[in-house]
Structure formats: C-alpha cells, structure tokens
Amino acid sequence: MKRIRAAVLAATILAGLVVAASPAQALSHCNGEAGAIYICEYGVATQTAPDGSKHQFLIGTDQAVWTRDASKKGRWSGWYSMGGVFTDKIYIIDRFSGGDPWVFTLSIRGDDGYQWINIRDHDGNWGGWRRMPDPD
C-alpha cells in the first residue's frame, strides 16, 4: 500500500512538473537551410530588395533574431545573430520608409511583452533594437 501511495505521489509530482514547463519549451524546432535551427511557430520572414537580393530572418532556439542575405545571383551568406530575446513571429514593415525601397523595419514582440523594432537604413546598416513605448 505504501508503494502504491509513493508511486501515485511521484506520478503527481512529475505531472505537475510537465504542466509547469514554460511555453517556450513547448514550441517545436525546425531545421532550415544552411544549418538553421529555429522555432517553427515563428516562421521565416523574407524581404526582397529592389535589386533582387534577399534578406531572411528567423527566431533561433536561443530566441534571438538570426539573419542571412542573398546576392542578386542567389548566393547566400551564413547566418548571423542580431541578438534580442523574442517570443513571436517577425514582421517586416516598409510603410515607414519615406519612399526609400531599401529601408525597412523589423518588428517583434520581446519576452518583456513590448514590441521591439530594428530599422535597416538605405546603406544596409541596422539601427539596433529599440523598445516601443506601449506593450499593447
């Protein structure tokens, strides 16, 4: 009888630990091109530049944004981290570019609940992650 109670207690504790797992642990991982391992539910975002070159962005298993670029001829760079800690898919916004087709913004919800943005300028430089003022 004591063994049965101990087994039931152990099973209850184990079940509680499984339920207490964080949502990030429950997300599935995908294997992408060129060795990328990313959070499937967040997908891969792609932006095409006026000259036909491309930029891809994804959220890695470390929750940082990772990116790579392709030339007009389709030759891809390696993946490199843009940093951050994010918990949602990446949105690419180009409506605030002032008419410059080379300028676009990444917008992503951070682990703090706020939207974060990073703006790419005309010359391909990134401005760095900036938190937007309102979490909603």
Per-residue pLDDT tens for 75-119? Answer: 999 999 999 999 999 999 987 778 898 999 999 999 999 999 999
Per-residue pLDDT tens for 2-58? Answer: 444 433 333 333 333 333 334 445 678 777 777 788 888 998 999 999 999 999 999
Q: Residue 130's Cα: distance from chain center in Å?
A: 15
Domain membership flag for residue 8 = no
Residue 67 is part of which domain span? Answer: 26-131
Domain membership flag for residue 11 = no
How many domains are contained in the chain?
1
**Residue with token string 């918990």:** 87
Contact 6, 50 (CB under 8 A): no
The pTM for the full model equals 0.75
Domain membership flag for residue 10 = no
| Residue among 81, 76, 54 nearest 65 (CA) | 81
Domain membership flag for residue 21 = no
Q: How confident is the model at residue 136 (pLDDT cuts 50, 70, 90)?
A: low
pLDDT of residue 13: 34
Give every CB contact of residue 18 below 8 A, 6+ residues apart in sequence: none
Domain membership flag for residue 50 = yes
pLDDT of residue 23: 46
Tokens, residue 23: 């949502």
